[in-house]
């Protein structure tokens, strides 16, 4: 399976595959998604199988507009305000499933809620329009591993499972969407991501509750501690580098090192760092080093999501 440059014809071919119940990988502004017809139980089941994803971990459904989203979920005042402020864009809203919700129950993994997002990427928009379907799509990586920000990443890990890979080049945000639950009570942040907390709090005009608390009961079922894991180990808050380690640097002041190295942003720009994070982890991983040493990264702006991903990349791994 080779990635393709995206023409109208490719979109039609991918839309036809979705309608046949097959899987299609497509770019969004955050990361590449592994898409399936969200209304089909068998198509959605194929996503879980391809990703080896635990069945209790629900999927985000991608739609063209707020109007389309409102056919699948019930929006309270917070959800409406956030959708109007951020869509299309890197925010997913978890809301109660609507009465006549057309999406497969499998996307909700047994919950009575559904995660919805209107992506901004023109290829994602074109695919939704051409298929006329809501598209269920997790990140297009094997469960627990680094998320894909290029078509090549998808081809390496899931190339055999997909009918079509739409190659839209490297994604611009580089981190998954922020996931916010709007379930009647105060809105809760389930996963930090491409939409910044400060911007969300400005729209709602108050602070939002954070994820975490009890790591045994993740607020979002997908937020297991070990995730985004490269094959190499990951060591955080590194101020020096040991021989044999690779260095993932940030900012202008880099410790001396003559092994494999990438700098997330030499100028210290967190948006640039987010866009580079997963690609650089993929690249350093191909150097087959034992450990990737990661310099400290500020926690403001997209730094919250970057530090969340790095903490999970460094977490003890199952087995």
Residues that bind Mg ion (CB under 5 A): 139
3 interacts with, out of ligand TXA, Mg ion, none, CB within 5 to 8 A per kind: none
Of 138 and 303, the one with the shorter C-beta distance to ligand TXA is 138
Closest distance of CB 107 from ligand TXA, Å: 7
Which residues make up each annotated binding site for ATP? 53, 57, 113, 139, 147, 191, 228
Among 104, 125, 131, 139, the residue binding ligand TXA under the rule CB under 6 A is 139
Which residues make up each annotated binding site? 30, 53, 57, 62, 113, 117, 137, 139, 147, 177, 191, 228
Of 247 and 306, the one with the shorter C-beta distance to ligand TXA is 306
Is 191 a residue that touches ligand TXA (CB under 6 A)? yes
- Return the residues of window 86-125 that contact ligand TXA according to CB under 6 A: 92, 94, 108, 111, 113-115, 117
Closest distance of CB 221 from ligand TXA, Å: 4
Helical axes 197-204 vs 77-86, angle rounded to 10° = 130
- Return the residues of window 57-76 that contact ligand TXA according to CB under 6 A: 57-60
C-alpha 150/C-alpha 31 separation (Å) is 8
Using CB under 6 A as the criterion, what x/- string covers residues 144-173 for binding ligand TXA? ------------------------------
Q: Point out the residue whose Cβ comes nearest to Mg ion.
A: 139
> 3-state DSSP call for residue 178?
strand
Is 31 a residue that touches ligand TXA (CB under 6 A)? yes
Distances in whole angstroms, Cα of residue 26 to Cα of each of 20, 38, 122, 144, 178: 16, 15, 10, 19, 19
Closest distance of CB 253 from Mg ion, Å: 32
Is 221 a residue that touches ligand TXA (CB under 6 A)? yes
Of 191 and 262, the one with the shorter C-beta distance to ligand TXA is 191
104 interacts with, out of ligand TXA, Mg ion, none, CB within 5 to 8 A per kind: none
Closest distance of CB 3 from ligand TXA, Å: 16
125 interacts with, out of ligand TXA, Mg ion, none, CB within 5 to 8 A per kind: none
> What residue ranges bind ligand TXA (CB under 6 A)?
28, 30-31, 33, 57-60, 92, 94, 108, 111, 113-115, 117, 137-139, 176-177, 179, 190-191, 220-223
């Amino acid at each position: 399976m080779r990635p393709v440059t995206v023409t109208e014809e490719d979109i039609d071919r991918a839309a036809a595959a979705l309608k046949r119940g097959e899987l299609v990988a497509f770019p969004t502004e955050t990361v590449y998604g592994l898409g399936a017809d969200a209304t089909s139980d068998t198509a959605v089941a194929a996503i879980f199988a391809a990703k080896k994803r635990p069945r209790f971990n629900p999927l985000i459904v991608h739609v063209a507009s707020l109007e389309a989203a409102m056919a699948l979920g019930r929006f309270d005042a917070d959800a409406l305000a956030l959708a109007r402020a951020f869509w299309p864009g890197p925010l997913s809203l978890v809301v109660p499933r609507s009465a006549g919700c057309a999406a497969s129950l499998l996307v909700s993994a047994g919950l009575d809620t559904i995660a919805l997002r209107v992506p901004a990427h023109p290829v994602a928009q074109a695919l939704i329009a051409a298929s006329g379907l809501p598209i269920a799509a997790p990140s297009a990586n094997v469960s627990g591993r680094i998320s894909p920000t290029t078509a090549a990443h998808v081809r390496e890990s899931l190339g055999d499972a997909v009918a079509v890979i739409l190659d839209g080049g490297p994604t611009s945000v580089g981190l998954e969407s922020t996931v916010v639950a709007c379930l009647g009570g105060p809105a809760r942040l389930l996963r930090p991501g491409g939409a910044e907390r400060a911007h969300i709090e400005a729209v709602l005009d108050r602070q939002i509750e954070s994820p975490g608390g009890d790591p045994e009961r993740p607020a979002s079922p997908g937020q297991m501690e070990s995730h985004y894991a490269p094959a190499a180990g990951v060591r955080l808050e590194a101020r020096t580098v040991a021989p044999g380690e690779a260095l993932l640097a940030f900012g202008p002041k880099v410790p001396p090192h003559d092994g494999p190295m990438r700098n997330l942003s030499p100028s210290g720009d967190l948006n640039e760092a987010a866009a580079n994070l997963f690609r650089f982890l993929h690249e350093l991983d191909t150097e087959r080093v034992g450990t990737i040493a990661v310099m400290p990264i500020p926690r403001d702006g997209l730094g919250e999501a970057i530090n969340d991903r790095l903490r999970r990349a460094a977490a003890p791994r199952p087995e």
